[in-house]
Amino acid sequence: MSDYGSAWRILRLPSLTDQIFIKAQRIRQLQEIKTRKVEEGEASEFIGIINYSVMALIQLEKGVVEQPDIDVKQATELYDKHIEQTKALMENKNHDYGEAWRDMRISSLTDLILQKLLRVKQIEDNQGKTIVSEGIEANYQDMINYAIFALILMDE
């Protein structure tokens, strides 16, 4: 069994959320500064948001472990499963809302990701208790889809 496949499952969910927050803040910073000393792009940060969000979804499903307990093949299968579920959600929302995101600015998608992150942090700080919420899983799925929309817009 490979330690690499699930070593990230040792991280607690708030740690993954904070990693996504760092990525989103970095994107915001890149969008606001005029001069860059390091030639980094936003694309790799959006990809990081996708990957960390999928890790969080897997952790919500499987739980946190003290030692790696799945191999690379199992981790890949879980990753693909959550990407497919998130894609289905996106397709359903696009059906209901149309593709309004195509007319959005990338900076607005970043704002939406940051809003979702603040909501997730609030849910985590309340130990999962919410008064009105679509749940933490839906917030991670929305962040994935917003990041994918941003990547598509960047590529057009």
Q: Encode pLDDT of 61-84 as tens digits.
A: 988 777 778 888 999 999 999 999
Q: Are 33 and 103 in contact (CB under 8 A)?
A: no
pLDDT at 135 over 90: no
pLDDT at 10 over 60: no
Stretch among 9-13, 33-37, 105-109, 151-155 having the lowest mean pLDDT: 9-13
**What's the predicted TM-score (pTM) here?**
0.87
* Mean pLDDT on 54-59: 93
The upper half-sphere exposure of residue 58, i.e. CA atoms within 13 Å in the direction of its Cβ, equals 28
Longest CA–CA span in the chain (Å) reads 47
Average pLDDT over the chain reads 87
How far, in whole angstroms, is CA 27 from its chain's centroid? 13
User: What angle do the packed helices 136-155 and 42-62 form, to 10 degrees?
Assistant: 160
The rounded distance, in Å, linking the Cα atoms of 39 and 52 is 23
Backbone angles phi, psi at 11, to 5 degrees: -65, 140
Burial of 32: CB neighbours in 10 Å, binned 0-12, 13-18, 19+: exposed
Q: Are 6 and 70 in contact (CB under 8 A)?
A: yes
pLDDT of residue 66: 76
